[in-house]
Amino acid sequence: MANVICRQLTKLYGDTLAVKAIDLEVFEGEFLVIVGPSGCGKTTTLRMIAGLESISDGEILIDGKVVNKVEPRHRDIAMVFQNYALYPHKKVYDNIAYPLQLRRVPKDEIRSRVVETSRLLGIEPLLERRIRQLSGGERQRVALGRAIIRQPRLFLMDEPLSNLDAQLRIQMRREIIRLQRQLGITTVYVTHDQVEAMTMGDRIVVMRGGLVQQIGEPMTIYNHPANRFVARFIGSPPMNLFDGVLENRNDRLVLCTGFAEYALPAQVQARLPSTHLAGGAAPVVCGMRAEDMTVDLADDESDNHALGVVDLVEPLGSDVFVSVKFGEEMLLARTAPDLPLRETQKVCLKLNLAKMHFFDPKTEQNLLR
């Protein structure tokens, strides 16, 4: 078990900045997920922690010691690669045993530990096989086995599930979490899949363009996204965003959107910066999650109700996603499956204003405290 601290960690490839002075701490024993769109620097960050990539600037501390110049083999870190990177010329047994063989562990001990590890992963019958005789899921397990057998102080995983089919991915997701809880080894897990991030991470680091956007527990990030990018990136379907203007009418904030006007509840108003009360009218970007809106068949247009036209109904079984069109804007709401909805039908959309997010149109930062 170890903790990792990245201070102002920077990576330059030629003159492109892949990672821009990020600060990051991985707590002892936690499962930290780094998530972000393609090319945002996740892999680069992970490889710098592993020691496979040189550090352009900043430093990495493992257990309080700067490891910038320490070779990978002396960092006591195990890594699982996206393409597994198993040794094709060795049998499954020797793939898993390899880290111990290099450390000159006695043969008997190696054997018992390989058997134990393979049992844990359910690959004991495969030990005598060659790598090319394994399926993708089995290879994944062998790669995990090779990583856990020597009980490193840190696990790094770079999109280890992305080559698996959807069902196997869900199954392996659970197994990796179970394994990590069982072994309690500090883990940094890289993925571009926000579902993986939400379901697996003790904490999540959201990255974009080489910068950290937000670090926090999954539900904190979901409920309080730091900015517009995080709001759209975390959560499925992505958060609805639409333009609005906050107007100060007798010290009460009113949100004017293209389709309705809403008087903000006092507790929401209190969480907005007071500068928005001072000025006359402030433009904002509003965010609303699909589950924070209710679709109503009654078409009485009153406060907090907006009348729109159903554009598309997507039933998922457990619930239904409804796209409702308000003139220019299109909002996606989640409803119960028993609502009889047809396309082109007029419906009424209630927004739960207490759950509404407000972003600065320029800085894109979340305005709520």
Ligand X SMILES: Nc1ncnc2c1ncn2[C@@H]1O[C@H](COP(=O)(O)OP(=O)(O)OP(=O)(O)O)[C@@H](O)[C@H]1O
Q: Which residues of this protein are in contact with other proteins, per CB under 8 A? A: 50-52, 71-73, 77-79, 81, 83, 85-89, 98-99, 102-103, 146
The set of residues, in sequence order, having a beta carbon less than 8 Å from that of 98 and lying 6+ positions away, is 87, 90, 146
Q: Is the dihedral of CA 127, 132, 137, 142 positive or negative?
A: positive
Residue 71: name its binding partner from other proteins, ligand X, Mg ion, none (Cβ under 5 to 8 Å by kind): other proteins
Q: Which does 38 bind (CB under 5 to 8 A by kind): other proteins, Mg ion, ligand X, none?
A: ligand X
270 binds, among Mg ion, ligand X, other proteins, none (CB under 5 to 8 A by kind): none
Q: How many residues does the chain have?
A: 369
Reading the block at residue 16, the tokens are 């492109």
Pick one of other proteins, Mg ion, ligand X, none as the site partner of residue 265 (Cβ within 5 to 8 A by kind). none
CB of 204 to other proteins, least distance (A): 24
Buried b (16+ CB within 10 A) or exposed e, 190-225: bbbbbebbbebbbbbbbbbebbbbbbbebeebbeeb
Output the furthest CA–CA distance in the chain (Å, rounded).
81
Per the structure block, which two tokens stand in for 225?
């996204």
Beta carbons of 67 and 76 less than 8 angstroms apart: no
CA separation for the pair 155, 107 (Å, rounded) = 25
For the bound state, the minimum distance from the C-beta of residue 57 to ligand X, rounded and expressed in Å, comes to 15
Contact partner, 40, from Mg ion, ligand X, other proteins, none, Cβ < 5-8 Å per class = ligand X
Contact residue for ligand X among 42, 203, 276, 289 (CB under 6 A)? 42
41, 152, 235, 287: residue in contact with ligand X (rule CB under 6 A): 41
CB of 19 to other proteins, least distance (A): 18
Q: How far is the CB of 158 from Mg ion (least distance, A)?
A: 6
Cβ-based nearer residue to other proteins, 107 or 346: 107
Among 13-21, 68-76, 85-93, 260-268, the segment contacting ligand X (CB under 6 A): 13-21
- Candidate residues 18, 35, 188, 324; the one interacting with ligand X per rule CB under 6 A: 18
Q: Nearest distance from residue 88's CB to ligand X, in Å?
A: 23
Q: Does 40 bind ligand X (CB under 6 A)?
A: yes
Peptide bond into 273 cis (omega under 30): no
Burial group, residue 128, by CB count within 10 angstroms (0-12, 13-18, 19+): exposed
The residue nearest ligand X at its CB is 43
Binding-site string for Mg ion from residue 31 to residue 50, where x marks contact by CB under 5 A and - marks none: ------------x-------
Q: Which residues contact 7 (CB under 8 A, 6 or more apart)?
A: 23, 58, 59, 60, 61
Dihedral angle at the C-alpha atoms of 280, 281, 287, 288, nearest 10 degrees? 80
* Chain residues in the site for Mg ion (CB under 5 A): 43
Task: List residues near ligand X by CB under 6 A.
Answer: 13, 16, 18, 36, 38-44, 192
